[in-house]
Amino acid sequence: QAKIKGKGQVYEFQAGMETAVQERHDLELDLRAALGRSELRIYYQPLFDVSGVITGFEALARWPHPTRGMIPPDRFIPLAEETGLIVPLGEWVLKTACGVAAGWQSDVSIAVNLSPTQFRRVDLVNTVMKTLEETGLQPSRLELEVTETLLMEDVPKALALVRDLRALGVRVALDDFGTGYSSLAYLHNFPFDKVKVDRSFINKITNDPNAWTIVESIIVMSHKLKLRVTAEGIETGAQLSLLAEHGCDEMQGFLLGRPMPESQASSLIESLKNLHSVS
Ligand code: C2E
Ligand code: MG
Ligand code: MG
Ligand code: MG
């Protein structure tokens, strides 16, 4: 394909490739080192019920890079996936987040994202079980977020895994709902506890009637299937009230709370406890 282009273009194309490959390689080495030096961080984003009570936090990985600044997970999680680093990274997130949540004098839940590679590992159920034992976190306080792409690869195997995880007493949520392919079949066949409606729908519900029709239908359908519904990416009061009026169970978004470092999440929990004991 490169040959049919002019000579200069071929050269340019290859040079560009080399740079991208080199950069990716550099980033991979950096990520490996960062993991080894425990430089990754977890931020915690609060989730609320309709009455404004915190129900839990979602653990979101962050990479404060010494020279490139804060690298968002959308950049390093795919890289970690491709290189296999996601396995130690994912285990670190799980263990750290469960440990932190176990230390909170509160029964709020902690949600941890699982990547396809983690999900494919035969020892996932064992890893989760051991993590719960080691951290002392009550299984019912752990929620694992999975995406459709992860379930698609091998449906019978994924189904068995979700069942085994739930048998441990942890909850399983279907994340980014609406962005995948055959969503309805998954909702129907898998024993999820919760559906998280993707941000790309939520940010359109107050100005795109079709987007709202879809979200409203997801809420109705999920409730009939005995699933709880979380809306992610709520940024305006109008979105919040529309969702609350229509029975959405749980709210997440910058309007209500951004992902925050552990210390802030802990003080938020403490301040809410004081509020309750005063009233
Ligand atoms: P996600 O699991 O769907 O997480 C929600 C994302 O939406 C987070 O982005 C969060 O900061 C963002 N968000 C929440 N509310 C709002 C809002 O109101 N407006 C906007 N614009 N964004 C909002 P984040 O932290 O950048 O994470 C992106 C994705 O990276 C996550 O999407 C998840 O798929 C992945 N990820 C993050 N941490 C981990 C991890 O530890 N393991 C795995 N496997 N994936 C992770
Ligand atoms: Mg998530
Ligand atoms: Mg999500
Ligand atoms: Mg999302």
What pLDDT, on a 0 to 100 scale, did the predictor assign at position 17? 61
- Give residue 178 CA to ligand 4 midpoint distance, Å: 10
CB of 199 within 6 A of ligand 1: the answer is yes
Cα dihedral sign, 13-29-41-249? positive
State whether the beta carbon of 235 lies less than 6 angstroms from ligand 1. yes
pLDDT attached to residue 4: 47
- Identity of residue 242: L
* For residue 14, pLDDT beyond 80: no
> Which residue's CA lies nearest to atom 43 of ligand 1?
113
* Any atom of ligand 1 within 6 Å of the Cβ of 233: yes
Interval between CA 18 and ligand 2 midpoint (Å): 33
d(CA 81, CA 83): 6
Pocket lining: 60 vs ligand 1, CB cutoff 6 Å: yes
Residue nearest to atom 27 of ligand 1 (CA): 73
> Residue 224 and residue 219: Cα distance in Å, rounded?
9
Q: Which of the two residues, 239 and 4, has the higher pLDDT score?
A: 239
Residue 87 near residue 118, CB atoms below 8 Å = yes
Percent of the chain with pLDDT over 90: 74
240 Cα–ligand 4 center, Å: 17
Taking the C-alpha atoms of residue 225 and residue 238, their distance in angstroms, rounded to an integer, is 27
Residues with CB under 5 A from ligand 3 (ion): 175-176, 196, 232
In the predicted model, what is the mean pLDDT of residues 216-241? Answer: 96
Asked if residue 60 has pLDDT above 60, the reply is yes
Q: Hey, what are 228's tokens?
A: 């709880």
User: What tens digit of pLDDT does each residue of 242-272 get?
Assistant: 999 999 999 999 999 999 999 999 999 988 8
